[in-house]
Structure 1
Amino acid sequence: MPKGTGKMIAQNRKANHDFFIEETFEAGIVLQGTEIKSIRAGRINLKDSFARIHQGEIFLHNAHISPYEQGNRYNHDPLRARKLLLHRKQISKLIGESKEQGYSIIPLKVYLKNGFAKVLIGLGKGKKKYDKREDLKQKEAKRDIERAFRERQKM
């Protein structure tokens, strides 16, 4: 199964707008108690989340997993840092690449694969404001071309 396939739960749409994604990695995620039930219910938000390397391990920060409704006292802290599971070679590669100026590790999507929650993380370089404007212009031009093509086919 290729990376990023499975039952999609959440996606970070802002990531492609704010970063040039150069490489992606599939990582497992260490969860506590009722967190997997909340993820299966689709109650996760990646909007302002990021990954950070600490003592040779990668942690996911600011990913909001809502508390499970039937979890009562066994619920978890919604914004806690969660460890990501990667191979040692992948972690060392990310350490080397993310030390360069302007590179960040961004979670792109969360999905279920063979019953396990996986996070697709990307190594991204931040876009400047003019890059974002250029992308919007290209997207709009592509949309106009498709619209004109559809109108032409109707005739």
Structure 2
Amino acid sequence: MSIATNRKARHEYHILEKYEAGIALKGSEVKSIRAGNVSIKESYVRFFNKELFIVGMHIAEYENRGYDDVQSIRNRKLLLHRKELSKLKSKIDEKGVTMVPLSLYLKKNLIKMEFGIAKGKKLWDKRKDKQDKDVKRKIDRKMKEYKNK
């Protein structure tokens, strides 16, 4: 079950590879995410001291929280195995490659994040993708009309 998606990421980047990671969260943050009060639109994934963090993810304050004073925007650690981290680090060292979050979802009552290794699209790439999508939509529409006759 998807909680939040970053639809703009697929428009702005070519996704080369996808990975899944857990997130280190506080208690009230988990409840707020389960309620759907999270945004990953402006966020990105970065390495700090051989650890992976998501930067700029906004989690709204849970209305029934106790004494916890958790900031809504802070760096949150992504949980991966050390081998995966070293493999990611070597791939990210290439020029023009970055990591972007794609979706946030529940898996066996744990909150997981899917992020991808991505390369930025040029303006003409974006136009071509939109044109291809429009052509596919027209073809599907014609096929549906043909089947209904």
Partner of 1:3: none
Partner of 2:113: 119
Asked if 1:131 is matched to 2:119, the reply is no
Bigger mean CA offset, 86-95 vs 131-140 = 86-95
Which amino acid in 2 is paired with 1:61?
A: V
Aligned 8 A contact 1:52 1:105 in 2: yes
Is 2:50 the counterpart of 1:56? yes
Q: Which aligned runs of 4 or more in structure 1 are off by greater than 6 angstroms? A: none
1:8-47 to structure 2, matched below 5 A, reads: 8-47=2-41
Q: Which residue of structure 1 lines up, in the alignment, with residue 83 of structure 2?
A: 89
The amino acid across from 1:143 in the alignment is R
Residue 44 of structure 2 aligns with an amino acid whose one-letter code is F
2-structure distance, mates of 1:128, 1:98: 19
Q: CA RMSD in A?
A: 0.9
Residue of structure 2 equivalent to 1:144: 138
Aligned mates of 2:72, 2:23 — CA distance in 1: 15
* CA displacement, residues 72-98 of structure 1 (integer Å, 9 cap, x when unaligned): 531410110000001111111111111
Pairing 1:96-107 to 2, within 5 Å after superposition: 96-107=90-101
Distance 1:45 1:75 in 2: 19
Gaps of 5+ in 2: none
C-alpha distance in structure 1 between counterparts of 2:120 and 2:43, whole Å: 15
Structure 1 unaligned spans of 5+: 1-6
Residues 106 and 124, structure 1, Cα contact 8 Å, conserved in 2: yes
